[in-house]
Structure 1
């Protein structure tokens, strides 16, 4: 498979994503958004960064790039799509997933390692873990607070579309373990299809053994699992 990593003006985690995927022996190619998706695309990653300087709202301008219509069409056809950090903001803004990511409760940019609890293990993005596992993945964002109205959140939870929640090392969700004030400690969610996911933490920064923990590898392995029909 070939994962197209979409680069927008202001993306800065595209090369990190490419290196992490290639470390896992997953073919990856950085694609400039104006060029459209390559014909051989079998997976799509929306990387982190500050697309268009986060003007208007984080991810709002990139979400209106013509390539995102291609991404939505590919997602509807079952192509695995993963949005990370700014890519998660773009994913929400473009309608790939429910909710929105907005300014951290602290009103500060936060860069630190956090603990995430795996909420389900039967999706491509979590198949490498067991439900209830706690993994260590870094965050780096100023607008990472997940927000959604109560009614839609209830539907999201009833449909079991929450992938990860912020937690402490014991797997407990409490306010002190929530780095940005995300509603119900939500850190990552699924779209209408289980092959589409967005999350605020950076799994690509927890993949290379030479630079730290490797708990994020399982998330990126989701491209293989989804492509294999898992």
Structure 2
């Protein structure tokens, strides 16, 4: 399986994403710069955290217009796994690949610490290696992770099982404790916590590794490739 790690000016978690895919999973991974115009040959797309384009205007607002995003949107439409973490989640929201928006943390302060996440839906291509209701420890590091959407969108998220992760103890004021959601098709996941920073006990924990394992598992099964 081959992962593309998208790199915007200001990305700072791209190396962590690459490490998770290449070193922990043993899969192929390559960095893809924001001005690239093709994602041909890649099986999954990773949008890392950071401060793309300095977070000017709004988080993810400028990155959304990068040339590579046309290809990310096309890959999403083709059903390829797309994972956006932190700033990557914000970019996916701005690009319209996920519903809702991000507001500043309720405390108006940057938050950086491990948090408990509850797996609300383990029937996605990102969570099949977890148990439903399982609580995992994943670090957060953001200033604008306060997820918001209108009542109609929230009802739709609940009805379709699109709320994948919720916070045990809400750190940022996010609506309904939402920490991560998928699109209706189920192949685009956006989440504020950083699973790529929790893939090895040496990093403080490995609860995030199963997310990446789930992606590989689904890809192998869909391509009839035995592990």
Q: CA deviation at 1:148?
A: 0.4
State the secondary structure of the residue aligned to 2:108.
coil
Determine helix, strand or coil for the equivalent of 2:176: helix
Deviation sequence 1:102-141 (CA, Å, 0-9, x none): 2000001000000000001111111011100000000000
TM-score, L = length of structure 1 = 0.93
2:192 aligned residue = 200
Superposition TM-score, scaled by structure 2 size: 0.94
Partner Cα separation in structure 2 for residue 222 and residue 27 of structure 1: 16
| Consecutive unaligned residues in structure 2, runs of 5 or more | 223-227
Aligned structure 1 segments of 4 or more residues deviating by more than 2 angstroms: 36-39
Determine the C-alpha separation between the residues in 1 that align with 2:92 and 2:151: 20
Name stretches of at least 5 consecutive residues in structure 1 with no aligned partner. 168-176
Q: Distance in 2 between matches of 1:83 and 1:221?
A: 16
What secondary structure, in the 3-state scheme, does the structure 2 residue paired with 1:210 have? helix
Aligned to 2:55: 54
What is residue 219 of structure 1 aligned with on the other side? 211
Q: How does 1:31-50 map to 2 (within 5 A)?
A: 31-50=32-51
- The number of equivalent residue pairs is 221
Q: 1:216 to 1:89 in 2, by over 3 A?
A: same
| Deviation of 1:201 (Å) | 0.1
Secondary structure of the structure 1 residue equivalent to 2:124: coil
Aligned to 2:6: 6
Aligned residue for 1:44, secondary structure, equals: strand
CA offsets, 1:81-101, max 9 Å, x none? Answer: 000000000011101111112
- What do the CA deviations read for 1:151-181 (whole angstroms, capped 9, x no partner)? 11111111110000001xxxxxxxxx10000
1:170 aligns with: none
Cα distance in structure 2, aligned partners of 1:149 and 1:226: 32
Contact 2:122 2:131 (C-alpha < 8 Å) held by counterparts: yes
| Other structure's SS at 2:18 match | helix
CA distance in 1, matches of 2:219, 2:38: 17
Alpha-carbon distance, 1:228 to partner: 2.9
Instruction: Report 1:1-230 matches (<5 A).
Output: 1-22=1-22, 23-167=24-168, 177-229=169-221
Q: What is the distance in 2 between the residues matched to 1:229 and 1:68? A: 27
> Does the 8 A contact of 1:162 with 1:188 survive in 2?
yes
Query: How well do the aligned residues superpose, as a CA RMSD in angstroms?
Result: 1.1
